[in-house]
Amino acid sequence: MLWSGWGDPDRAAPLPEPVVALLRDLLGVRPGATAPVALADVEVPEPRLSADALTEFARIVGDRNVRADTETRVRHTRGRSTPDLLRIRAGQASDAPDAVVLPGTHDEVVAVLRACARLRVAVVPFGGGTSVVGGLAPSGPAGAPGTFIALDLRRMDALVSIDEVSRTAVLQPGLRAPAAEALLAERGYTLGHFPQSYEWASIGGFAATRSSGQASAGYGRFDDLVVALTVATPQGDLDLGRAPKSAAGPDLRQLVLGSEGALGVITSVTVRIQPVPETRAYEGWRFASFAEGAAALRRLAQDGPRPAVLRLSDETETMVGLTDPSAIGPEGEARPLDGGGRGLEDGGCLAVLGFEGTAGRVAERRAGVADVLRAAGGEPLGAGPGEKWERGRFDAPYLRDALLDVGAFAETVETATFWSNLPALYGAVRDALTGALSDAGTPPLVMCHISHVYPSGASLYFTVVSAQGKDPVEHWARAKRAACEAIVDAGGTISHHHGVGTDHRDWYAREIGPLGAAVLRAVKDRVDPAGILNPGVLVPPV
């Protein structure tokens, strides 16, 4: 992972000049001091760990699995939100971990946690490092983090076992998603979990943050896939899940899922798996409006049949999506390319559908879905837009880096609600983002899509692009606050799949109310009396 941005540096590509011109004309984007500093110039605080502590960690995990060099610390600093990137690009790594510890087994995790509790050293579990909500940035009571280590789980990267009868697999938390897919594919299986962070994110991270993949309509969210978990805490282990479902009390698995490292370190995850689909097919549909398209998606979510992938862009996102950089001519005019935009020239909204399974099942389901969408006013656009989406499905974070490079700002906000409340929530968040950034002198482009649907509701995912302005971190903080207020006031959840972290904690506290927060605090105090587990993340102060 690029230390100052996303992914594989070899896959980064600069924005074409015509797009840069468009951003300038449309949003006032101006080049600034936007290039990242050199890695050697990043400022990292002096490590605060005692030699005794380092010796203790080395005793547990081995010398070479305790790292305190600057580069390793920088590479474990915060996550991948745009403010995270803006700060690291500017050389600011004040909240770097004091050391990075790499355990190899559950028992080593337990021993590290016990040592940390004794030494009063905080622990940030680290998987893919892809948090966009401050999930890797602990904070003490006064805001500044105390001494802390990143507990990098990359050595715990095994596919432990497959149960072909039950169609489950036991995975270690540090296994990255592509590696998990590759190991499962050798046996003919897939998890079917493909969030945008797929290429870098880890199994433990998926569980700890309730990740939701792009094929959630077909495979379910990650929290739907998990049937058992093992969790290490300073006070002992939790070993949960003896059956798919149970009436033996509250479902404690659901207390661990979404716990974001604040209640323990997930050391084993048992997930449902499915046979690798024989075939995959993607296609596009046009709807006259976002509301009409949403009604069509709702129809499918409630009455079926369901595709595996089901997404709908609003008018703005559809329009911007048509602006294929490589298709922009010398006149600076956007043109649709490769069938990806035919049929959308006169506006409307693009829906992308994906189907997976046996050829027969896919054909049958496509036909059934087409009937529903036609009846709901949809016009088929063929495979082009679907395949275009599929090719670029993991590329948005690279595009963000390219935007930052030319002085633009790009970030996302997401939420979910029940269907009847979706229009109001959509309007409220859109207005809040537009208003706050316009007030700051950087009027944005605000795009939105629905990418996860349920019988009773759906997610909304907003992408914001604007000029960086004088202080983009502060501008965004204000816009983000406005969006979060709008979400909570309009009855949405503060996150559908990014999580809470530190960024959403105050609104999360409002979402679950004072008693909900107190319950969570009571659980945390029980499993983590020393308060070393990702302090400041998730759990509201009481």
Closest by Cα among 267, 6, 263, 5 to 155: 267
Residues 457-486 that bind a copy of itself (CB under 8 A): 457-459
Q: Which residues touch 427 (CB under 8 Å, ≥6 apart)?
A: none
199 assigned to a ligand binding site:
no
Instruction: Tell whether residue 202 is a contact of a copy of itself (CB under 8 A).
Output: no
209 marked as binding residue: yes
The reply to whether 235 sits near a copy of itself by the rule CB under 8 A is yes
* Between 223 and 387, CB nearer to a copy of itself: 223
Does the footprint of a copy of itself cover residue 362 (CB under 8 A)?
Answer: no
φ, ψ for residue 168, nearest 5 deg: -135, 160
The response to whether 17 counts as a known ligand-binding position is no
Q: How far is the CB of 465 from a copy of itself (least distance, A)?
A: 24
* Binding-site member from 141, 188, 236, 441 for a copy of itself (CB under 8 A): 236
In whole angstroms, give the CA distance from residue 92 to residue 74.
9
- Told to check if 525 binds a copy of itself by CB under 8 A, we report yes
| # of chain residues touching a copy of itself (CB under 8 A) | 84
Closer of 89 and 449 to a copy of itself (Cβ): 449
Peptide bond into 305 cis (omega under 30): yes
Of 309-317, 341-349, 467-475, 491-499, the window that binds a copy of itself (rule: CB under 8 A) is 491-499
- State the alpha helices, DSSP H only, in 149-265: 177-186, 203-209, 216-219, 222-225, 253-256
Give the interface segment with a copy of itself, choosing from 20-28, 32-40, 333-341, 448-456 (CB under 8 A): 448-456
Binding mask 299-328 toward a copy of itself (x if CB under 8 A, else -) reads ---x--------------------------
Produce one character per residue of 39-49: b if its CB has 16 or more CB atoms within 10 Å, e if not: eeebebeebeb
Consult the annotation and say whether 5 binds a ligand: no
Are 483 and 432 spatial neighbours (Cβ–Cβ below 8 Å)?
yes
CB-nearer residue toward a copy of itself: 135 or 472 = 135
211: contact with a copy of itself by CB under 8 A: yes
CA distances from residue 28 to 236, 364, 463, 466, 467 in whole angstroms, order as listed: 55, 49, 18, 8, 6
Listed in sequence order, the residues at least 6 apart from 114 whose beta carbon sits closer than 8 Å to its beta carbon are 234
Nearest residue (CB) to a copy of itself, 33 versus 165 = 165
Does residue 193 bind a copy of itself (CB under 8 A)? Answer: no
Tell me the closest approach of the beta carbon of residue 277 to a copy of itself, in angstroms.
12
Q: Is 264 annotated as a binding residue?
A: yes
> What is the closest distance, in whole angstroms, from the C-beta atom of residue 172 to a copy of itself in the complex?
19
Residue 412 assigned to a binding site: no
Residue 508 phi/psi, 5° resolution?
Answer: -60, -40
> What DSSP state is assigned to residue 421?
G
By the rule CB under 8 A, 265 interacts with a copy of itself:
no
Sign of the Cα torsion 498, 500, 506, 510 reads: positive
**Who contacts 159 (Cβ-Cβ below 8 Å, separation ≥6)?**
169, 170, 171, 172, 175, 180, 183, 184
Minimum Å distance from CB 520 to a copy of itself? 7
CB of 473 within 8 A of CB of 456?
no
Least separation in angstroms between CB 427 and a copy of itself: 16
Cβ of residue 365: shortest distance to a copy of itself, in angstroms?
11
As a whole number of angstroms, the distance between CA 520 and CA 534 comes to: 14
Is 131 known to sit in a ligand binding site? Answer: yes
Query: 38 to 77, contacts with a copy of itself by CB under 8 A?
Result: none
CB of 503 to a copy of itself, least distance (A): 12
- Per the CB < 8 A criterion, the answer to whether 114 and 172 are in contact is no
Question: To the nearest 5 percent, what fractions of the chain are helix, strand and coil?
Answer: 40, 20, 40
Q: Are 186 and 196 in contact (CB under 8 A)?
A: no
Q: Which residues are catalytic?
A: 461
Nearer to a copy of itself (CB atom), residue 61 or residue 538: 538
The answer to the question of whether 262 is labelled as a binding residue is yes
- At closest approach, how far in Å is the CB of 537 from a copy of itself? 10
223: contact with a copy of itself by CB under 8 A = yes
**In this chain, which of 256, 297, 429, 533 binds a copy of itself, going by CB under 8 A?**
256
Q: Which residue has the tokens 């004794």?
A: 118
Q: How far is CA 106 from the centre of its chain?
A: 25
> Does 194 engage in binding with a copy of itself (CB under 8 A)?
no
Q: Which residue has the tokens 């027969």?
A: 360
Site pattern 391..420 for a copy of itself (x: CB under 8 A): ------------------------xxxxxx
Helices and strands, counts by H and E, the chain:
18, 18
Structure token digits, residue 77: 């600093």
Q: In a 3-state reduction of DSSP, which class is residue 246?
A: coil
Whose Cβ is closer to a copy of itself: residue 514's or residue 541's? 514
- Residue with token string 């389901």: 365
If binding is defined by CB under 8 A, does position 489 make contact with a copy of itself? Answer: no
Question: Does residue 131 touch a copy of itself according to CB under 8 A?
Answer: no
Residue 191 found at the interface with a copy of itself (CB under 8 A): no
Q: Contact between 452 and a copy of itself (CB under 8 A)?
A: yes
Question: Binding of a copy of itself at residue 134 (CB under 8 A)?
Answer: no
Which of 140, 339, 435, 516 touches a copy of itself by CB under 8 A?
516
Binding-site entries for FAD = 125-131, 209-212, 260-266
Binding-site entries for substrate = 400
